[in-house]
A and B are shown apart, each in its own frame.
Chain A
Amino acid sequence: MSGGFAERVDAALADPILKLAVERTAGTAEAKRTLAIDAFADFEAARDRAAAIKDHVIANLGGYLERFEANAVAAGAVVHWARTSQEACDIVIGLCKAAGAKSVARSKSMLGEEIGLPHALAEAGITRVETDLAEHIIQLSGERPSHIIWPAMHKTREQVSVLFKANHRDPHTEETIAAMAESARRHLREGMLAADVGICGANFLIADTGAVCTVTNEGNAELSLVPPRMQIVTAGIEKIVPSMGHAVHMLRMLARSATGAPLTQYTTFYTGPKRPGDRDGPEEMHIVLVDNGRTAMREDGLAEMLRCIRCGACMNHCVVFRQIGGHAYGGTYPGPMGAVLTPAIDGLAANRDLPNACTLNGKCQEVCPVRIPLPTLLRGWREKSWREGLEPKATRAGIGLWAWAARRPRLYRTATATALTALRLLGRTGWLSNVPLAGGWTRHRDLPKPAAESFMAQYKKGQRQ
Chain B
Amino acid sequence: MTTTPRVALFVTCLVDLIRPRIGFASIAALEAAGCEVVVPEAQTCCGQPALNSGDRKTAEDFARRNIALLEGYDQVVVPSGSCAATIRVHYPEILEHDAAWFPRAQALAAKTFEILAYLDEVRGWKPEGVALPTTATYHDSCSGLRELGIKRQPRRLLAAIDGLELKPLAGAETCCGFGGTFCVKYPAISNSIVGEKTAAIDAAGADLLLAGDLGCLMNMAGKLHRDGSPVRAFHAVELLAGMGDGPAIGEEA
Stretch at the interface among B70-78, B113-121, B170-178, B203-211: B170-178
B134 in contact (CB, < 8 A): no
**CB contact between A448 and one of B44, B47, B187, B221 (< 8 Å): that residue:** B221
**How distant is A336 from chain B, measured CB to nearest CB, in Å?**
12
B contact residues around A440 at 8 Å (CB)? 183-185, 187
A420, B14: Cα distance in complex, Å = 12
A288, B3: Cα distance in complex, Å = 68
Is chain B's binding surface mostly helix, strand, loop or mixed? helix
B42 contacts A409, CB within 8 Å?
yes
A406 contacts B62, CB within 8 Å?
yes
A9 in contact (CB, < 8 A): yes
Given A9-B189, A441-B187, is A451 in contact with B218 using a C-beta cutoff of 8 Å?
no
**How distant is B239 from chain A, measured CB to nearest CB, in Å?**
17
**CB contact between B185 and one of A356, A362, A402, A458 (< 8 Å): that residue:** A356
B62 contacts A403, CB within 8 Å?
yes
A contact residues around B50 at 8 Å (CB)? 399, 403
Apart from the given pairs A360-B143, A409-B43, 18 other A-B contacts in the complex at a CB distance below 8 Å: A9-B186, A10-B188, A319-B193, A357-B186, A359-B142, A363-B142, A363-B174, A379-B52, A395-B53, A395-B185, A403-B58, A407-B61, A438-B184, A441-B222, A453-B20, A454-B16, A454-B17, A459-B39
Q: How many A-B residue pairs have CB under 8 A?
A: 195
B179 in contact (CB, < 8 A): yes
CB-CB nearest 4 A-B residue pairs: A359-B179, A382-B54, A440-B184, A386-B54
Nearest opposing residue in chain B for A5, CB measure:
B186
B contact residues around A396 at 8 Å (CB)? 55
B24 in contact (CB, < 8 A): yes
Count of A residues near B, CB < 8 Å? 64
Stretch at the interface among B97-105, B159-167, B245-253: B245-253
**CB contact between B189 and one of A357, A451, A455, A456 (< 8 Å): that residue:** A357
B194 in contact (CB, < 8 A): yes
Given A323-B192, A454-B16, is A447 in contact with B54 using a C-beta cutoff of 8 Å?
no
A429, B7: Cα distance in complex, Å = 36
A361 contacts B18, CB within 8 Å?
no
B contact residues around A451 at 8 Å (CB)? 17-20
Within 1-46 of B, Cβ neighbours of A (below 8 Å) are at 11, 13, 15-20, 23-24, 39, 41-45
